[in-house]
Structure 1
Amino acid sequence: MRTLRFVAMGDSLTEGVGDPVEAGWRGWAALLAEGLAGPGTRVEFHNIAASGAQTEDVLRRQTPAALALRPDVVSVVVGVNDTLRCTFDVHAVAARLDAVYAACGQRGAVLLTACLPDPGAMLGLPGALARPLARRQRAVNAVVHTLSERHGAVHLHAADGEWVADRALWSADRLHPGERGHRLLAARFHALLTAEGLAHGGAPACEPQLPPPTRSARLWWLATAGTGWVARRCTDLLPQLVGLAATELRHHVRGTSARLDLSAAHAVSAALAALSGPGQPDAA
């Protein structure tokens, strides 16, 4: 019997946070793994994603571990945590992702990627705080879009649309999909892979086994664990975010907010143009 190896890299989204099972977290990647193989093939699934991971963690630690497993399919879904750090640099993000994607391609693995919603909008932050984070996430998504095409990845557009607005798809923390959301991600990836002739098993079921979190559960999370989550993820960002919000307000009052968007777009273009060839590693 042939063995198909699927290795999942990334952060808490791929780790499975929001989709609890008895042994811990499951998540979209584990659900997808069940539908990759047809008759005569078994799937060997490895999830090495880690909560809080940034692109540098994926490049320096996860990628060598993933390639050592000789994957046939590898997913790389990461970038949100980069936007929540004061060290955010779209040039570094682009260089790291380019190196990771190239390394996977050089091993002949099918590469899965996705763009993601911005955390400010998901958390419902005030506009002046949310817009800088949204701009950063759009920059990361633009990089992921371009590099996914460049490296021939199977790319899932998951940054917006009805699934983002439907709270029934999200866990109590409003940042990670709930079971229904993880199942939807798995089903959407499966559909893309099936269309490419790369998935030969049944599609993951979309109906959850557990009920979605109630409104009171969401509010309780935000009032308790949510505060801790924000503190852990954003401690070094908060002072900078206050400054970014002040800049946002000044431009809003002057009617020059478009300049901030234009500057971000130029930064993305420059970051991609700086990649002189596939897989150029980040020098940081």
Structure 2
Amino acid sequence: MRPVRFVALGDSLTEGVGDPVADGWRGWAALLAGGLREGAVDFTNLAVSGAQTHDVLERQLPAGLELRPDVVSVLIGVNDTLRRTFDIHAIAARLDKVYAAFTERRTVLLTACLPDPGRMLGLPGALARPLARRQRAVNTVVHALSERYGAVHLHAADEAWLTDRAMWSADRLHPGERGHRQLAVRFHGLLTQTGAAMGVPPSPEPEFAPPPRSASLLWLATAGTAWVVRRCNDLLPQLLRLAADEMRHRARGTSARLDLGAAHAVSAALAALAVAEPPMQADVA
């Protein structure tokens, strides 16, 4: 029996940032790979830190198809929300092409909705709400397309996941080891229900002790600040304008117009793909 081929596409979340091992990052996908089958599993991680949906479509998809995977994960979209070029129409079209390319080959497709970065970073409300609105739009698209293509979909934007600090690394954007293990365990449970996973599930308990608080604070003050600046350098001017617009609407009591506009944009993006969308989640101040 040949090994199960598992290929992971995406950004730093799937690359494994937040779950360090001696030779770099490990992450949820590597942890999941060992539980797909008792015996050999051929795992390839194509995820790259900072990747956006266009990187997955243009670079990772061709490489992934060449590997002819049995299982593929596509977790992407957060970095798109951190760019001034954010375009939900383009994101929906790209994801549709990626999902279609794998499911046409009868590959088991893994997807997930993800928490919004503004909330994870603890940004002030006026700055966080525009990012939350963008992430809800991406999640709505991912939900709709996951249903269309029969993906194994993980709801990873739920409240319990967000509020447990033990799950998260120092940067507040990536899971720590415990969080990566939780993702792997939850995906394994979903795959077991479909018969796609027949191995021993990953352990939810960390192998290594979490870094001390002093190390976390040092990371945030040095490498963490640089990381955020690299991800958001072209967004900040636009985000400030969005925040000002947010405050004007809240002062006038017309914030619902912003949510309605975002919902219309998602509807139009999915209508262009002839996909019916689920309702967008309500805004949480």
TM-score by length of 2: 0.94
SS in 2 for 1:156: strand
Find the counterpart in structure 2 of residue 15 from structure 1.
15
The answer to whether the 8 A contact 1:169-1:212 is kept is no
- Root mean square deviation, CA, Å: 1.1
Equivalent position amino acid for 2:246 in 1: E
- Residue type of the alignment partner of 1:267: A
CA shift at 1:276, angstroms? 4.3
Aligned partners of 1:225, 1:233: CA distance in 2, in Å? 12
The one-letter amino acid of 2:15's match is: E
* Structure 2 residue matching 1:211: 3-state secondary structure: coil
* Equivalent of residue 239 in structure 2, options 238, 241, 244: 241
Residue 191 of structure 2 is matched in structure 1 by 193
Shift of 1:219: 2.7
User: What are the equivalent positions in structure 2 for 1:113-124 lying under 5 Å apart?
Assistant: 113-124=111-122
Indicate which of 124, 127, 130 corresponds to 1:126: 124
CA distance in 2: counterparts of 1:76 and 1:194, whole angstroms:
19
How many Å apart are 1:102 and its aligned residue? Answer: 0.1
- For the 8 Å contact 1:18–1:178, the answer to whether it is kept is yes
Q: Which of residues 81, 85, 88 in structure 1 aligns to 2:86?
A: 88
Shift of 1:220: 2.4
Q: 1-side partners of 2:221 and 2:165: how far apart?
A: 18
In the TM superposition, what whole-angstrom CA distance separates every residue of 1:55-95 from its partner, at most 9, and x where no partner exists?
00000000000000010000000000000000000000000
Inter-partner Cα distance in structure 2 for 1:72 and 1:168: 33
Separation of aligned partners in 1, 2:50 and 2:183 = 20
Q: 1:95 is matched by which residue type in structure 2? A: A
Q: 1:222 & 1:35 partners in 2: Cα distance?
A: 33
**Structure 2 unmatched ranges of 5 or more:** 276-285
Counterpart Cα distance in 1 of 2:130 and 2:67: 38
Report percent identity of matched pairs: 75
Match of 1:101 among 99, 102, 124: 99
* Among candidates 192, 202, 219, match of residue 204 of structure 1: 202
2:268 partner SS: helix
The equivalent of 1:213 in structure 2 is: 211
TM-score, normalised to structure 1, is 0.95
Q: Residue in 2 aligned with 1:222?
A: 220
Does the 8 A contact of 1:174 with 1:218 survive in 2?
no
Point out the more displaced range, 184-193 or 216-225: 216-225
The reply on whether 1:5 has 2:8 as its aligned counterpart is no
Deviations 1:189-248 (A, max 9, x none): 000000111100011000001222343333322222221111101111000000000000
In structure 2, the partner of 1:29 is 29
Structure 1: 4+ residue segments shifted above 4 A = none
Specify the code of the residue in structure 2 equivalent to 1:45: F
